[in-house]
Amino acid sequence: MADPEKSSLAVVGAGVMGTGITTLAAGSGLRVVLVDNDQAALDKARHTIAFQLRHARMMGALPADTEPGEVVTTTSVDDLSGVDTVVEAIFEHKDTKAKVLTEVANVVGEDATLITNTSGIPVDELADLLPQPGQLVGTHFMNPAYLIDLVEVVQGRHTSAATVAGLRTLLGRLNRRAVVVRDSPGFVTSRLLHPMLNDAARLVGEQVATAEDVDALMVGCLGHRTGPLRTADLIGLDNLADSLVALYERTGEQRYLPCDQLLAKVRDGDLGYKSGSGFYQYRETLS
């Protein structure tokens, strides 16, 4: 059971992004309350976070002289009374995010900073559904959050100066740099990256090239760090498909419709790194 009086940071959602953000915060010395309504997900998250902390230390991605903060878990949002900063990191579904954020807002009070971590849902769409719209600001942490030190920050038209200041304080404690962008569907990174990943999957489906060859060309010729399909596997193919659908619904642009190859992978349960298989096979996963 969480003891919120000893913590000022909570993360809601024990999935891929929630555990990654929790790893980053704990590795930076913060005590974190991790919330999820699924106890099994919380149990799995503990093992994942321990693995990720070891990985981050091996990569030199966290302060070497900082003792990791405690991670406590709870299945109840009601345990967040007294927490002053909350990162919501559940799946990309607007109504569900708004419901969770409203529940959190009613518990933590008007002075707390609420952060929605999203790859594409406009912050204003969520803020309009909250009791105090000015409390909400958006982030797009990249996966793995404990390795990538740049964060896309999304300031909605309602977002208050105090909320932005609260987020900047948190990012400073996490030793993360921020680039602030205007609110829009997909912001900058997803608007550019996700259709490229979709096109890469389409090329594989059309048998133009293998996943390995597509990635090799993008890495060797165009300087992409890992290749689009390894990146898609790391994001999670189900998450990528959901984000593409959200972009299509908000822009009407056909390029955002998930291609058949991507949808087939999702139907078959080949979700990428987290499931052990996607466009590639993985022996060891972050779990």
Residues recognised as catalytic: 140
Query: Which single residue is written with the structure tokens 């498909």?
Result: 241
Rounded distance between C-alpha atoms, residue 165 and residue 141, angstroms: 18
- The tokens of 259 are what? 């291609």
Nearest to 229 by CA among 259, 251, 257: 259
- DSSP letter string, 146-193: TT--EEEEEE-SS--HHHHHHHHHHHHHTT-EEEEEE--TTTTHHHHH
Maximum alpha-carbon separation in the chain: 57
Q: Judging by beta carbons within 10 Å of its beta carbon (0-12, 13-18, 19+), is residue 200 exposed, middle or buried?
A: buried
Rounded distance between C-alpha atoms, residue 94 and residue 182, angstroms: 19
- Phi, psi at residue 267, to the nearest 5°? -60, -35
> Which residues, 6+ apart, have CB-to-CB distance to 258 below 8 Å?
198, 240, 241, 244, 245
Rounded distance between C-alpha atoms, residue 256 and residue 190, angstroms: 10
Which residues are registered as beta bridge partners of 115?
A: 87, 137
